[in-house]
């Protein structure tokens, strides 16, 4: 069943508001293609903007204050996002260049190859998220401005809502970055960072089991239950069951005219709920709690952090207060840089010759520290 409706939107509160006419195409589908006795009813609407409206409005024409405020706000948001995008992109590019210089330095001076995890230390994922957020808001704001100028299209309207909604979500996620400056409020970020690798490995196994239940439910129960008619609807039903929602309705919608399907569907749901609620979700929570305990112990008992070549190298830097001492100023003076470079080359050769290839990079750095002409020397 297909039909069309026309509607007019008019707001008398705005001085420059003109009537907006829309055409709504409605389609109602009664799906009985499977002949299971259950007719699936679907309703879909497509909204389009009509440029010409019949009739007239006798009202003065002027520029409303709220329209002016919204326009200025859109321009300010657009400029701020452009400025933020340029700065964050510049920071990412400089970090990439610094990473390349660090890789070359370690390979040439220490004959050490920086691991992938150390290379990722140069990539600030917060900046990556901000760049994506700025792009979403910029494109969404431009689309919003075009819609306000009566360039209405249903696809543009939907795209604008998605872009601005995702942009707003990433903005509030980015606020969590500032909690990282406080140890007591940084537990969530550190726990997620610690548990994500184990969570991904665990999810890869759980997804395989989930897909098995999904296909079995769709193939066997699909012709007898509206909740398992398609793979998408089957996944939605199983996800609801996994969260303890809509259990009775799922049992009830299975056609009880076929005793075999009724018994199998009941056993199937019991097995799925028992497996995923009592086992999978419990293990998933246990992984997160284990990461939380590790983070908590590090803050509570001052346990040592994870070591790497890059972190050990940075840890050899003297405190900022020591850099103002006469000895440090003499070591890092321009005329002393040549001697410092010669010492680094000689120390690297001596340590490389005294250590075998099986020694760790941390031991090599320790050797360089021992051969340092001064305790406060930092390369």
Query: Alpha helices, DSSP H only, in the chain?
Result: 65-105, 116-119, 125-148, 154-179, 187-221, 231-242, 247-253, 259-275, 281-301, 309-315, 326-331, 337-354, 361-370
Please give the pLDDT value at position 301: 61
Per-residue pLDDT of the chain (379 residues; tens, 9 = 90+): 888 888 776 665 555 556 677 788 888 988 877 666 667 788 888 877 676 665 555 454 555 677 788 888 888 999 999 999 999 999 999 988 988 888 888 888 777 787 777 788 888 888 999 999 999 999 999 988 887 766 556 667 788 889 999 999 999 988 888 887 777 777 778 888 888 888 999 999 999 999 999 999 898 888 888 888 888 889 998 998 888 877 888 888 887 677 888 888 889 989 998 999 889 989 999 999 988 888 877 766 655 556 666 666 666 665 655 556 677 666 656 555 445 444 444 445 555 554 444 444 444 444 544 444 443 333 3
Domains of the chain, by residue range, sit at: 2-50, 65-181, 185-301
Please give the pLDDT value at position 64: 63
DSSP per-residue letters across 36-79: SS--EEEEEEEEEEES--SS---------HHHHHHHHHHHHHHH
Please give the pLDDT value at position 372: 44
The answer to whether residues 141 and 84 touch, using CB atoms and an 8 Å cutoff, is no
Please give the pLDDT value at position 11: 60
Is the whole-model pTM more than 0.75? no
The vertex-170 CA angle with 167 and 173, nearest 5°, equals 155
The vertex-279 CA angle with 273 and 280, nearest 5°, equals 85
Main-chain dihedrals φ then ψ at residue 213, nearest 5 degrees: -65, -35
Q: How far apart are CA 286 and CA 279, in angstroms?
A: 10
Please give the pLDDT value at position 144: 86
CATH topology of domain 185-301: Helix Hairpins (1.10.287)
Q: Which run of H or of E encompasses 7?
A: strand 2-9
């Amino acid at each position: 069943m297909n039909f069309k409706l026309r509607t007019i939107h008019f707001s008398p509160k705005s001085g420059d508001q003109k009537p907006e006419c829309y055409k709504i195409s409605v389609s109602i589908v009664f799906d009985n293609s499977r002949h299971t006795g259950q007719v699936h009813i679907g309703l879909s609407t497509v909204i389009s903007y009509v440029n010409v409206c019949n009739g007239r409005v006798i009202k003065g024409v002027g520029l409303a204050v709220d329209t002016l405020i919204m326009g200025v706000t859109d321009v300010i948001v657009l400029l701020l996002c452009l400025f933020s995008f340029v700065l964050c992109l510049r920071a990412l590019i400089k970090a990439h260049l610094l990473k390349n210089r660090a890789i070359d330095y370690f390979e040439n001076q220490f004959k050490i190859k920086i691991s992938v995890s150390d290379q990722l230390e140069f990539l600030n994922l917060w900046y990556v998220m901000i760049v994506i957020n700025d792009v979403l808001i910029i494109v969404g704001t431009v689309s919003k401005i075009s819609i306000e100028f009566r360039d209405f299209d249903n696809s543009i309207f939907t795209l604008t809502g998605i872009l601005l909604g995702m942009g707003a979500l990433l903005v509030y996620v980015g606020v969590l970055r500032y909690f990282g400056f406080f140890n007591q409020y940084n537990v969530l970020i550190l726990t997620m960072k610690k548990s994500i690798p184990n969570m991904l490995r665990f999810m890869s196994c759980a997804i395989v089991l989930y897909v098995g239940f999904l296909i079995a439910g769709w193939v066997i129960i699909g012709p007898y239950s509206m909740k398992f008619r398609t793979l998408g609807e089957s996944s939605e039903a199983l996800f609801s069951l996994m969260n303890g929602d809509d259990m009775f309705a799922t049992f009830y919608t299975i056609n009880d005219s076929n005793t075999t399907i009724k018994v199998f569907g009941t056993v199937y749901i019991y097995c799925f709920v028992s497996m995923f609620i009592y086992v999978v979700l419990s293990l998933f929570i246990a992984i997160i709690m284990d990461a939380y305990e590790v983070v908590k112990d590090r803050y509570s008992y001052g346990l040592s952090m994870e070591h790497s070549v890059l972190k050990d190298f940075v840890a050899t830097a003297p405190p900022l207060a020591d850099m103002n001492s006469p000895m440090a100023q003499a070591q890092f003076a321009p005329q002393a840089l040549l001697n410092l470079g010669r010492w680094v080359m000689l120390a690297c050769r001596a340590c490389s010759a005294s250590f075998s290839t099986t020694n760790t990079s941390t031991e090599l750095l320790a050797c360089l520290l021992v051969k340092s002409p001064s305790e406060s020397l930092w390369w």
